[in-house]
Structure 1
Amino acid sequence: MQFTVDQTDLAAAVTYAAHSLPAKPPVPVLAGLLLAATDDDVLRVSAFDYETSSDTTIQAAVTGPGRALVSGRLLTDIAARIRGTVRVELTGPRLILTAGSARFTLPTLPLEDYPQLPDAGTGSGTLPGPALAEAVTQVAAALGNDDALPVLSGISLHHDQAAGTLTFTATDRYRYAVRTLTWKHCDLAGDRTALAPGKKLLDAVKACADDPTVDLTIPDDSNAGLFTVRSETSTSTLRGLEGSLPAYNTLFPSEFAHTATVEISVLKEAVQRVALVATRNTPVRLAFTADGSLVLEAGSSDDAQAVDTVDTALQGEELTIAFNPQFLTDALTAFTVGGATAVDFQFTSPTKPAILHGHDSDDQALRYALMPVRLDG
């Protein structure tokens, strides 16, 4: 195998594929990146850990086709630091990489032990890359990280055949994020729901966020439970999770006793300021007043205290409610990802979930249910 390639292209390709490298590979070959140079001047870079695969192609000047398996982390680090045109040559069990005055000799891993990459199959539908990345990033703010409940680490994708929409949801039991997109679906015969590994899906869609169109596959019994995220030159596959998220419809009522609109950037900064005195698991209290003020408080009379005030527009009676400050900050950040500058808080009572959505946003925009923290007394 022998080829030359631009350093920028090589670095982008190995960085993309490295998303599928396991942190602790169960066998040594799974720590490798598979390089395949073909006669049509294409370099294919792939990684697979039995659960996730990443596969991408770039243009290269190939003078000798072939394949090699090398340490993924090492190749990624090298590709990020070299400059200019890169010459790669396989000599026996060694891969020689030269760029400018730098020369690297890398041992290869046994190709015969590397697993076959999964078949990506047929796409379920097509979405714009930026919209897909935005939606997944927004709902990922509510992902759980409890190892005892792996289902809560997933993002659910639901295809509605009649509406032609795809809805993304995530929850950790204390918050629930919902975002819907209209998409061009292919030959799906009816509604379909499946659960994807949340962080891996986020990595996959961010990698193709600049692509104008992305084919997305929602698994069923015919494709071994694989999600596929595929752009023109890159493909990621993710093995779906077993189980399903709890239903969210009952968490989002249609009638509310109180509604308040707040500028996101101002509120987020105020929450972060008063949270400086909040000890572990201590909430930030929000008092929405009739005079158009939102008073934020944290701390207690026996410890450090903080108070701050921002403007709000309240409809309904005054209300005091408390939230985990990190959860509230995560929610506000998720709305800014979608371009919102103000958020509507909708309440039924101080002990029921607050519903957040972007001010003047439509029904498909992010909706976020946030559980309050019960106040003593």
Structure 2
Amino acid sequence: MRLRMDRDALAAAVAAVGPGMPNRPPVPTLGGILIRAADGSVSMSGFDYEVSACATVTGTVAESGAVLVSGRLLTEIAKTLPLHPVELFDDGSALHIECEQARFSLPLMPVEDYPDLPAAAAARGSVDRADFAAAVAQVAVAAGRDDTLPMLTGMTVEFHPDCIRLVATDRFRIAVRELDWVAEQSGSTLLAPARALVDTTKVLTGERVEISTGTTQSVLGLRTAHDHHTIRLLDLPYAPYQRYLTVRHPARARLRTAAVVEAVRRVALLSQGTRILFSFTESSVRLAAGDVAQGRAEHVLPCEYSGDPMTVAFNPRYLLDGLTTVRTPAVDIALDGPRRGAAIRPADDESTPNRQWYFVMPVRLPE
């Protein structure tokens, strides 16, 4: 194999393959990047049996071929190369990389030992790439991180005729997000590992993403003009959440998003990570944390509030996770007393249907 390619193209392709490379490969070949070159096209692939990634870029291919080299080393090399064209060629035992005065050689691993990447066949439709990545990030904050409860580490993906709905929960909060898409097939639901979905959508390029599923519904496929990724799905039941979308909350507070985020961060300094009290009145809300022995913090914010005055306690981290996903200037917090879940939503124009929800359970206060 012998080829010449742009340094930025090499770095971008290697970075795109990152989600498919395990941190601790069980066998050396799974820690490798498979490079294939033919007909002016260079593809790089990574696979850890859970996530696969393949990025294709253009290059001047003098000799076709395929090599398998250390993914970690190739990634580090690509980051440090000068901004000049890169030559890659192998001599049967090593891959040589030359860029201006920099030269590297990486030992080859047997290509035949590298597993075949899973195929994702049935196209479900396509979605705007940036919108999809943002929605995944917004929902993933509520996904569980405890691997002993794998169902809660997943993100539910529902394919509806007019939208995709993403859902995640760790039992203490639920995040829901809908976004438009161009559907080819609808009416199905799957559960994907939330962390893998976040890592993959971060490296996607292009304007649109084609979403597909495997022939046995065991993998989710994400394809752009130059990248193709698959994620092995979780064969587990979906966490129920639908009833929370229809709960009526008798009280609602509208606040400036940036102001309440800043206030929560400030007051949380003395919360010891446990709770912040929100005391709502007609035109303001008082945030308080701490005690006389450990120190206290308070902050009063103006707000538009409808409902009976009430005091509710929230875990500051859970609250911030929801508030920081809101992209509108104002945010609504809907309340149903100090012991029932609160709903955080963007304060959109009344004529605009809501596409984002974040439900968080309060911290119970002593009787």
What TM bracket, shorter-length normalisation? over 0.9
Cα shift readout 1:267-295 (whole Å, capped 9, x = no counterpart)? 11111111111224x101111112x1111
> How many angstroms apart in 1 are the aligned matches of 2:318 and 2:61?
51
> How many angstroms apart in 2 are the aligned matches of 1:250 and 1:299?
34
> How many angstroms apart in 1 are the aligned matches of 2:66 and 2:256?
55
What displacement does 1:355 show?
Answer: 0.6
Residue matched to 2:101? 101
Unaligned runs of 5+ in 1: none
> How many angstroms apart in 2 are the aligned matches of 1:263 and 1:365?
19
Residue matched to 1:201? 197
Selected match of 1:373 from 355, 363, 366:
363
Unaligned runs of 5+ in 2: none
**Conservation of the 8 A alpha-carbon contact between 2:37 and 2:43:** yes
The question of 1:262 aligning with 2:255 is answered yes
What displacement does 1:232 show?
Answer: 0.9
What displacement does 1:317 show?
Answer: 1.2
Cα shift readout 1:273-322 (whole Å, capped 9, x = no counterpart)? 11111224x101111112x1111111123212111111111011111111
**Normalising by the residue count of structure 2, what TM-score does the alignment of the two structures yield?**
0.96
**Conservation of the 8 A alpha-carbon contact between 1:171 and 1:245:** no
The letter of the residue matching 1:102 is A
The letter of the residue matching 1:214 is V
What displacement does 1:254 show?
Answer: 4.2
What displacement does 1:340 show?
Answer: 1.3
> How many angstroms apart in 1 are the aligned matches of 2:154 and 2:167?
9
Residue matched to 1:302? 293
Instruction: Give the alignment of 1:102-251 within 5 angstroms.
Output: 102-161=102-161, 164-186=162-184, 188=185, 191-208=187-204, 210-218=205-213, 222-251=215-244
**Conservation of the 8 A alpha-carbon contact between 1:18 and 1:54:** yes
Moved over 3 A (4+): 361-364
The letter of the residue matching 1:48 is F
What displacement does 1:252 show?
Answer: 3.0
Selected match of 1:332 from 314, 319, 323:
323
User: What is the number of residues matched between the two proteins?
Assistant: 364
Superposed CA RMSD in Å reads 1.4
Aligned-pair identity in percent equals: 35
The letter of the residue matching 2:152 is L
Residue matched to 1:287? 279
> How many angstroms apart in 1 are the aligned matches of 2:227 and 2:342?
40
What displacement does 1:255 show?
Answer: 2.2
The letter of the residue matching 1:287 is S
**Conservation of the 8 A alpha-carbon contact between 1:284 and 1:325:** yes
> How many angstroms apart in 2 are the aligned matches of 1:308 and 1:242?
46
Residue matched to 1:76? 75
